[in-house]
Structure 1
Amino acid sequence: MTALTTPNGCRWCGIEQRGHFQQWKPPAGWHTWEQPTQDQIKARMLARRAARNT
């Protein structure tokens, strides 16, 4: 099974808030944890459900 981003992971990189600190990822560059959008949360939840059902 592949590792999927948790629904509430960082908006830019998907890392959980607790262990995020500061990360680098394009297009955000160096960033701290940011709340994901509602669309990102929904898409991540649907992807996890799809992976679970296959």
Structure 2
Amino acid sequence: MAFDIDKYTSTSKKVVWGDLDFDQFRTNPLPEATLRSIRYMADIEYHTVCYLRDLLV
């Protein structure tokens, strides 16, 4: 499966923080299972960069 970088750059948008209601997380926090999944994905993303760095060195 090929990745089309041109299509990606033309259709992707940056994260807009201004439209997020962070106070909502205080009154309606995410479930623990969701937080665990987000931490897992962040960890995998971080280590993917580390692995790529090690491959290139």
TM over 0.5: no
- If asked which structure has higher relative contact order (CA below 8 Å, sep 6+), I would say 1
Give the TM-score normalised by structure 2.
0.34
Larger radius of gyration: 2
Select the structure that is richer in helix: 2
Give the TM-score normalised by structure 1.
0.36
Select the structure that is richer in strand: 1
